[in-house]
Copies of this chain bind each other. A is one copy, B any other.
């Protein structure tokens, strides 16, 4: 396509996502705070490592940063091309999306919150799920760019709705992770074979992505590969709880889960995978889930 596109933030996800763009767009700018990474990306995939000022002159600008605060800071520091669409793939804060969309609208720029799911393997294969909040017309215009990186791409509501769905998804991941740890520790204490139990549950009503892949591949294997950090899961459960709070809803189970994940985060070793949250529980029970 003749549109120009930029990708800002070449972390584990962004680096892989941006790699697909040259197949669909003639001009692909990349920028990263550590600029060496941008240059490496250009060398690897034929993108152009440019200054931030130039990147935000693209027609479509992706961002994928650790937090909404990072996105706010970055956007406030640049002058974005009028008429551009900003697609923010950060797992961010719904209120921040609403505020950014509203203020950018004044400058004739559309802002879509478009967090992704599917881990690095999904980014690698362009099979990410993208949940998008924001203006419906902007969503339609952004669709070709989104399709370059994702497979299931859904417009889930107004600004902030994408971030909201992502936060709830990750909260459910946290609930499942912790509850499976509790349940399987009880089974182990009673002498049950965890692998056989897992197989049964995966053919039954208690199954989840956690029982199907997270638990066997990360926990029972004792590998805890660091692909999605525990601090990020803690942040996301906090975002989900803010949604609950803003709506003045009681949410006993999600609240408790957030407290447990936050405690696990505060007591975890640096650079822990989210799945390592179960280690705090193991420290209580002295039962190793293996």
For the side of the interface on A, what is the size category? 35 or more
* Mask: chain A, 205-230; 1 = CB below 8 Å from B; 0 = not: 11111110010000000000000000
CB A144 to nearest CB in B, in angstroms, measures 19
Interface string of A148-179 (1 = CB under 8 A from B): 00011011111011001100111111011011
Instruction: Give the docked Cα–Cα distance between A255 and B186 (Å).
Output: 12
- CB of B285 within 8 A of CB of A172, answer no
Q: Is B286 a contact partner of A266 (Cβ separation < 8 A)?
A: yes
Bound Cα distance from A189 to B240, whole angstroms: 12
CB A211 to nearest CB in B, in angstroms, measures 7
Q: A263 on the interface (CB 8 Å rule)? A: yes
- Residue in chain B with minimal CB distance to A287: B249
Kindly identify which residue among B164, B172, B284 contacts A206, using a CB–CB cutoff of 8 Å: B172
Asked whether, in the complex, the Cβ of B252 is within 8 Å of the Cβ of A165, the reply is: no
Q: Compute how far the CA of A131 lies from the CA of B196 in the bound complex, rounded to whole angstroms.
A: 9
By beta carbon, the residue of chain B nearest A157 is B192
Does B190 lie within 8 Å of A160, measured CB to CB? Answer: yes
CB distance from A32 to the nearest CB of B (A): 25
A190 to B111, CA, bound (A): 18
Decide: A263 and B250 in contact? CB cutoff 8 A. yes
Flag if B266 contacts A259 (CB, 8 Å). Answer: no
CB-contact partner of A182 in B173, B214, B244, under 8 A: B244
In the complex the two chains form, what is the Cα distance from A129 to B10 in whole Å? 45
Complex contact A203–B152 (CB within 8 A): yes
CB-based contact A197/B165 at 8 Å: yes
Complex Cα gap A172–B215 (Å): 14
Tell me if A30 is interfacial: C-beta within 8 Å of chain B: no
Q: Tell me whether B252 and A259 are in contact (CB under 8 A).
A: yes
How far apart sit A252 and B256, CA to CA, in the bound complex (Å)? 5
Chain B, Cβ-Cβ closest to A205: B173
Bound Cα distance from A250 to B187, whole angstroms? 13
Q: Are B176 and A208 in contact (CB under 8 A)?
A: yes
5 A-B pairs within 8 Å (CB atoms) are namely A94-B190, A169-B204, A172-B180, A250-B262, A252-B260
Shortest Cβ-Cβ A-B pairs, 8 listed: A172-B206, A208-B208, A189-B247, A117-B204, A169-B206, A255-B255, A250-B259, A250-B263
Known: A170-B205, A189-B249, A250-B263. 7 other contacts (CB 8 A): A164-B192, A172-B179, A173-B206, A186-B243, A190-B243, A255-B256, A255-B259
Binding site for B on A (CB under 8 A): 94, 117-119, 129, 131, 151-152, 154-158, 160-161, 164-165, 168-173, 175-176, 178-180, 182-187, 189-193, 196-197, 199-201, 203-211, 214, 238, 240-260, 262-263, 266-267, 283-287
